[in-house]
Structure 1
Amino acid sequence: MARKKSETQKTRAKPEAVIEIASTGVRLSIVEVVSQENAAENPNGKAGNARSVSWNTLDRSDVPITFGAEIFATGQIKQSSISQCIQILARYKEQLAAWGLAPQDATVIATSALRESHDSDSIVDRIFVRTGFAVRIIDGIEESRLMYIAVRECFKDSPINLAGDDFIILEAGGGTTEITLLKKGSIVGAHSFRLGAARVERRLGQVGATDTTQRYVRQFILNSKNSLNEELKNLKLKSFIAVGKIPQIAALYVGKPISTFLWEIPREKFFEFANEIQNYSVEECMARFKISYNDAAQMHTGFFIYETFFELSDAKTIIVPETNLREGVLISKIDSPDEELQQEFYKQISAGALNLLRKYHGDESHASYVAKISLEIFDELKDESALDKRARVLLEAAAMLHDIGIFVRMENHHLHSAYIISNSEFFGLGKSEITIISEIAKYHRGHANPQDEEQFQMLPRAERMMILKLTSIIRIADALDRGHTQKFEKLKFSRQKDSFIIDTGNRHNTVLERRALEEKGEMFESVFGYKVILS
């Protein structure tokens, strides 16, 4: 499934590089970005029907490391392994230089092993000081997002339409298993589970898919499925989309190509091949599949994880894309934003906020009303707020969740809201964005002043200003539904000199709302320079 270089290259651009520090290896991809005209002449580059760019692989490397084995056993990475990683990156630095690239030109990501290390900050700093590479540690949901982008690209020249059926994208790595649920092409769920071959083997102290390992994996997956039942019951699943080295190996031996970057494996053939693998020794896996010892040692458990997930579904086939996490990073980096894809992510963020609200039995009517008014105020102020569409999405999520902490206790519910949000996952949002939503919920009540909080002051200035602006908007919207009755069906907004006028139509008693605005309107006036007037 290796990709060939193009023989025809009219337009040459500066190469792009992505490095992935994973649980079992440090992987490098260097590609040449090609214009769409050249991509049409180049059948070997990755080009989609609607993409403005394609690329050819110029160089790649994959050096094994033992980060996962160590972190999942002790919670720490050995100094010798950190030194080995730095040496590998120093070697990659030389490879980049051969293509005219400096460390700052490369995008470097790290996944579950570094994510769970107690010393991750120190390790990232050492890597930067020694090699010049700036490492970004991504969370499990971000992995799912990037992998979805990569998978979506593979389907563009295929006879299978992602929007035509329901699918589950499954990637079982060394430390985590990422699952994305698709209904007619729309993302309806994304989850990251702490289940991976390296993690299981270290936790149980056993190598290979032993009886103990199989029982553990099966029980874990059954428990996970129970938590997904609400989402799964709405899917009519015909195929799994399996991502990773293990399904790619299976595709080479028992699958058939159905497009340039997609393979298909019948369910029973995958099971037969997976069972056959269990009879191989680690050395036999290394020799037959030309893989490293680390990868070979995890094949038995890895295959069993995929097999068990497939067994619990009625899917008849397994579709295997020829892609990886680095390609998702690459597409995000080199391609212009896909508006349709961005809208899909925004919808999923909103859906995730609503699902979380329902999980904690929040007041959905009040939350939706506050979100609606907040967005209307945001749109009214868009010419002077200096905030983008992304901020609008964060505002909607924060408005939906501002009162979620009432589930814990009414008193100090803003603090409980912040805690619940900060410890939740949202597909399409990184940690910093979840922090922004959490901070907005924390300060949505009128008496709290963010500038007095040390934690708030430690945030970057741009994030502080976004939090202040969005919090001030939610305070106004929340005040307009003080009685949780959604009494104002339609509001009109206007600005006159130093006043922000909210016209209610004069059909309701507004004493309660006026009093609430007196309590909660000060921040809005301070941030935007307008005194809120209810008419």
Structure 2
Amino acid sequence: MRTKDASDIQKPVRSCCDPLAGAAAGPRLEAVIEIGATGLRLLIAEISADGSWAVIDRAERALALGRDVFTIGSISRDSLLQCLAILNRYREILRSWAVEDAHVTVVATSAIREAKNRDSILDRLSVKTGFRVRVIDGIEENRLMYLVVNRALRGAPGALGKINSIIMDVGGGSTEIMLMQKGKMVAAHSFRMGTVIIEQQVKAMMGSAKDMRRFLAEYIRTTGETLNKELRLDRVHQLIAISSDARLAARSIGTPVTDLLSVIPRHEFISFVQRVTSYTPEECVRNFRISYGEAESLTPGLLAYQYFLEMTEAETVLVPFLTLREGVIISCVSGPDPLVNEEFYTQVVASAANLGKRYHVDEDHSRYVTRIALGLYNCLEAELGLDRHARLILEVAAILHDVGSFIRPADHHLHSQYIIAHSDIFGLNKDDMNILSNVVRYHRAEKPNPGHHAYATLARQDRTMVLKLSALLRIADALDRGHSQHIEDFDIELSKDTLYLRARGTHDVTLERMALEEKADLFEEIFGYRLVLN
């Protein structure tokens, strides 16, 4: 597809996280604080002008926020006070390194995410420490996991390349899982199953270690059945484990591959897990020099990896020596939008395409509409005022716009909205999914309406994005009204007040003209251009 536009050259935008932006200033310090289910962790990294970085300080303090949330549903007053004390201690460390607040990222995971008193806790943390805490969802954790794995496997033999892989992070309150088929993302999920949750549920049932094994094995078997629908686990040949429990195993029995990666043969990993599960928590503290809280969660964490490993044909367990905190640093070094990384962008699209396959979308129509929609976006890029991330949202919307036909072709735009709003796509967080589901809803005759709750509750700038992207998607879909792709390609040309779509070759475009008459009104309202199909 060929497009023309008088203003097709845009200057790149720099941000404070862009390594090129600070080239003249030399190295800078960036810090990350993670508020997790089992503790608070600090990392400080020095980032050079060329984008390379190195960790220069770490700190960790145990705090069982997860035990509060997963037993009583809220974070207790005592835990809040301890959390404030730890954060203020970290602020002293940051001052000693002269790290400014603008270069400190504070993230919270499952414990605060699920706390009933989350809003009041976040307010107290902000007022008493000055830190603004960003609560990240499971899919955002998956994105950071991918960045970490990609970094750790860089230069390592066998990498993600052509191997079917399962990437797992068994945390305190959730387990993040990604499936990759021959290096392409198949699925990303966040399950409410973590070491602290398992431990608390078994205690609540007055269960034994045997009961814990049975409970965990049954949960993982059920989870495995879900994952098997997306990628046969018996065809997975590589397990990549990301957690402090996995790193403990790697330090004990692993063979270093690089400074950032260790490998453990399957049988040795299983033997190690069996040995550890025979220890009491006191013996784990003594043997591995870890805290008592870490010792209590060690057995369920390692067993979760073992049970998943036994469902696959993986002969090795790869363990990166990087954490979610390094993932935040990598994301910062990449710029405010890590999707500028083409490989990452491709993985998001691959995940969306796999979701489409699960619901049996018309793939030829989907590819055609995607190509036309992106051609329109490229032609109008200067008019849109949107970034690369918005272009990705449009691409995914074009791939999945008809996914609701799986339920019922009539009103399939509403079913598409529902399916997408309740699905996971690698690399897209909940805000992205809300925007995406609205774009898909409005690809038919219905236009965005303030009376529609899902649309009205979006932020103003997100509603504007929905208007622009759905206008483009409606045109692209209209140009394949009959799902026949009988017009092989278009030339797109933007003049002073008209957008011309010229079908290459000789074609009867009567059906497409009729479809455009129904759908072009939103485009013309938003952009002010008349639409002409020749």
2:392 matched to 1:378? no
Instruction: Quote how far apart the aligned CAs of 1:121 are.
Output: 3.0
How do 1:340-359 and structure 2 match up within 5 A?
Answer: 342-359=341-358
Instruction: Quote how far apart the aligned CAs of 1:28 are.
Output: 0.8
Instruction: Quote how far apart the aligned CAs of 1:268 are.
Output: 2.1
Q: d(CA) in 2 for partners of 1:161 and 1:267?
A: 17
The residue type paired with residue 39 of structure 2 is G
- After superposition, the Cα gap between the structure-2 partners of 1:323 and 1:209, relative to the gap in structure 1 and judged at 3 Å, is farther
Aligned position for 1:295: 294
Aligned position for 1:360: 359
What's the % identity of the aligned pairs? Answer: 41
Q: Is the 8 A contact 2:520 2:531 kept in 1?
A: yes
Q: d(CA) in 1 for partners of 2:398 and 2:238?
A: 37
Q: Is the 8 A contact 2:106 2:131 kept in 1?
A: yes
Q: d(CA) in 2 for partners of 1:27 and 1:106?
A: 13
- After superposition, the Cα gap between the structure-2 partners of 1:481 and 1:420, relative to the gap in structure 1 and judged at 3 Å, is same
Aligned position for 1:181: 179
Q: d(CA) in 2 for partners of 1:275 and 1:208?
A: 19
The residue type paired with residue 141 of structure 2 is E
Q: d(CA) in 2 for partners of 1:378 and 1:129?
A: 43
Aligned position for 2:15: none
Q: Is the 8 A contact 1:446 1:520 kept in 2?
A: yes
Equivalent of 2:30, from 3, 12, 16?
16
Aligned position for 2:131: 133
What secondary structure, in the 3-state scheme, does the structure 2 residue paired with 1:303 have? Answer: helix
- After superposition, the Cα gap between the structure-2 partners of 1:440 and 1:35, relative to the gap in structure 1 and judged at 3 Å, is closer
The residue type paired with residue 81 of structure 1 is S
Instruction: Quote how far apart the aligned CAs of 1:340 are.
Output: 9.6
2:311 matched to 1:312? yes
- After superposition, the Cα gap between the structure-2 partners of 1:337 and 1:123, relative to the gap in structure 1 and judged at 3 Å, is closer
The residue type paired with residue 116 of structure 1 is E
The residue type paired with residue 127 of structure 2 is V
Q: Is the 8 A contact 1:159 1:259 kept in 2?
A: no
Q: Is the 8 A contact 2:181 2:231 kept in 1?
A: no
What secondary structure, in the 3-state scheme, does the structure 1 residue paired with 2:483 have? Answer: coil
Q: d(CA) in 2 for partners of 1:282 and 1:339?
A: 41
What secondary structure, in the 3-state scheme, does the structure 2 residue paired with 1:77 have? Answer: coil
2:409 matched to 1:395? no
2:122 matched to 1:124? yes
Q: d(CA) in 1 for partners of 2:165 and 2:479?
A: 42
2:206 matched to 1:192? no
Q: Is the 8 A contact 2:173 2:192 kept in 1?
A: yes
Select the structure with the greater relative contact order (CA < 8 A; seq sep ≥ 6): 2
Q: d(CA) in 2 for partners of 1:15 and 1:201?
A: 38
What secondary structure, in the 3-state scheme, does the structure 1 residue paired with 2:447 have? Answer: coil
Q: Which 10-residue stretch deviates more, 279-288 or 341-350?
A: 341-350
Q: Is the 8 A contact 1:349 1:428 kept in 2?
A: yes
Aligned position for 2:250: 251
Q: Is the 8 A contact 2:524 2:531 kept in 1?
A: yes
Q: d(CA) in 2 for partners of 1:340 and 1:390?
A: 7
Aligned position for 2:20: none
Unmatched runs of 5 consecutive residues or more in structure 2: 1-24
Instruction: Quote how far apart the aligned CAs of 1:150 are.
Output: 1.5
How do 1:214-363 and structure 2 match up within 5 A?
Answer: 214-233=213-232, 237-335=236-334, 342-363=341-362
Q: Which 10-residue stretch deviates more, 15-24 or 397-406?
A: 397-406
2:430 matched to 1:431? yes
Q: Give per-residue Cα distances to partners, 1:110-131, cap 9 Å, x unaligned.
A: 1122222233333223222221
Matched positions, count: 509
What secondary structure, in the 3-state scheme, does the structure 2 residue paired with 1:80 have? Answer: helix
Aligned position for 1:88: 86
What secondary structure, in the 3-state scheme, does the structure 1 residue paired with 2:33 have? Answer: strand
- After superposition, the Cα gap between the structure-2 partners of 1:220 and 1:296, relative to the gap in structure 1 and judged at 3 Å, is same
The residue type paired with residue 319 of structure 1 is L
Q: Is the 8 A contact 1:208 1:297 kept in 2?
A: no
Instruction: Quote how far apart the aligned CAs of 1:499 are.
Output: 1.6
- After superposition, the Cα gap between the structure-2 partners of 1:513 and 1:15, relative to the gap in structure 1 and judged at 3 Å, is same
What secondary structure, in the 3-state scheme, does the structure 2 residue paired with 1:296 have? Answer: helix
TM-score, structure 1 length as denominator? 0.87
Q: Give per-residue Cα distances to partners, 1:418-466, cap 9 Å, x unaligned.
A: 2211111111112221111111112222232335546535433432222
Q: Give per-residue Cα distances to partners, 1:208-232, cap 9 Å, x unaligned.
A: 9712211121122222222222544
What secondary structure, in the 3-state scheme, does the structure 1 residue paired with 2:28 have? Answer: coil
Unmatched runs of 5 consecutive residues or more in structure 1: 1-10, 37-51
Instruction: Quote how far apart the aligned CAs of 1:367 are.
Output: 2.7
Aligned position for 2:461: 462
Q: Give per-residue Cα distances to partners, 1:282-332, cap 9 Å, x unaligned.
A: 122222222222211111111211111122222222222211110111111
- After superposition, the Cα gap between the structure-2 partners of 1:505 and 1:149, relative to the gap in structure 1 and judged at 3 Å, is closer
Instruction: Quote how far apart the aligned CAs of 1:336 are.
Output: 5.4
Aligned position for 2:146: 148
Q: d(CA) in 1 for partners of 2:143 and 2:437?
A: 21
The residue type paired with residue 35 of structure 2 is I
Q: d(CA) in 1 for partners of 2:247 and 2:65?
A: 23
Q: d(CA) in 1 for partners of 2:32 and 2:185?
A: 26
2:499 matched to 1:500? yes
Q: Is the 8 A contact 1:35 1:54 kept in 2?
A: no
- After superposition, the Cα gap between the structure-2 partners of 1:451 and 1:334, relative to the gap in structure 1 and judged at 3 Å, is same
Q: Is the 8 A contact 1:104 1:134 kept in 2?
A: no
Aligned position for 2:110: 112
Q: Give per-residue Cα distances to partners, 1:18-43, cap 9 Å, x unaligned.
A: 0111111111111223466xxxxxxx
Q: Which 10-residue stretch deviates more, 297-306 or 60-69?
A: 60-69
Backbone CA RMSD of aligned residues: 2.7
